Amino acid sequence: MIKHLLTFSVSLCMFTSVASAAEAAASAHFIGALREAITENDQQKLEALTFFEGASPQDKQRTSSMLRMLFMSGKDVEVISLEPLPSDFESVIIMRGQKIEPTAPSVGMVQITFKGAAQGQGNAASAYTIVGDKFFLVGMKSTDLGWKGPPDRNIGYSIVGQGASGVKVEGAWNASGVPLKKAFKETSLTFWGQYIEELKVTSDHGDCDVTVTITEDGKAIHTEPLKGKGVLLYKKKSE
């Protein structure tokens, strides 16, 4: 019995080692091919590294244009690395009557550092996936939600003043008729949607002195101060 267990354990370790080595080789090939596509400014090579299954021609064109803007800035690549997904990574977006989602589950982020980038400015990152035994950049595909209401517009909020970086922000909004909510890390943000339903700003600091502004199409529709410890709760007025 012990002999069989030892044999199984050794076999499992060998399989894991082989699988890890194969994945390491595949990731190295992917990074090398991506560096080559960027260095040569080759759109076709970049598209060959992107997973487009399920994407329409329009989706493919949008994804290709976005990746080109991200990666092909004309700067020399210094380092390409594969990093974990951020804890707040969002894979699905609702906007302008469409649900936009990845063509395959995102596994991590491709982080590209360009030479001469100051304090991270000008670097680029995009999600990657593994399909079969190959690494790809994640493509995007869209689904029409059949939304017949008014088109989404730019909505957002800003929090400015002393202690703005220390407040907690939670929001609920409507995009193309779909109710959404999340905790935000940003102190100022604009995004597509119908309206902000609710915005909760919480301060745990006595010296907090900020002004919270809700905007629609770049115009302020609500402004309110938050001083010291406390909670500011904005709710959209019923029409």
Q: Are residues 70 and 136 in the same domain?
A: yes
Mean per-residue pLDDT, 153-165? 97
**236: in domain:** no
Q: Are residues 213 and 108 in the same domain?
A: no
Q: Are residues 23 and 70 in the same domain?
A: yes
Measure the CA–CA gap between 30 and 20, rounded to whole angstroms.
Answer: 15
**172: in domain:** yes
Tell me what pLDDT residue 21 has. 77
- Classify residue 100 by burial, with Cβ atoms within 10 Å: 0-12, 13-18, 19+: middle
Q: Are residues 56 and 136 in the same domain?
A: yes
Q: Are residues 51 and 158 in the same domain?
A: no
The pLDDT tens digits for 119-148 are 656 789 999 999 999 999 999 999 999 999
pLDDT score of 168 more than 50 = yes
Which of 115, 144, 173 represents a domain boundary (last residue)? Answer: 144
Tokens 């299954």: give the residue: 53
**239: in domain:** no
pLDDT score of 9 more than 80 = no
Contact 137, 110 (CB under 8 A): yes
The pLDDT tens digits for 80-130 are 999 999 988 888 999 999 999 999 999 999 999 998 766 656 789 999 999
Which of 144, 170, 187 represents a domain boundary (last residue)? Answer: 144
Q: Are residues 54 and 101 in the same domain?
A: yes
Measure the CA–CA gap between 38 and 145, rounded to whole angstroms.
Answer: 35
Q: Are residues 58 and 175 in the same domain?
A: no
Measure the CA–CA gap between 193 and 191, rounded to whole angstroms.
Answer: 7
Q: Are residues 114 and 52 in the same domain?
A: yes
Tokens 């982020």: give the residue: 109
The amino acid occupying position 220 is A
Tell me 73's DSSP state.
S
Say if strands 134-138 and 50-51 run parallel, antiparallel, or are unpaired.
parallel
| C-alpha dihedral sign at 37, 118, 28, 108 | negative
Tell me what pLDDT residue 237 has. 87
Segments forming the whole domain that contains residue 190: 153-230
Mean per-residue pLDDT, 190-204? 97
Domain count, the chain: 2
The three-point CA angle 207-208-209 to 5° equals 115
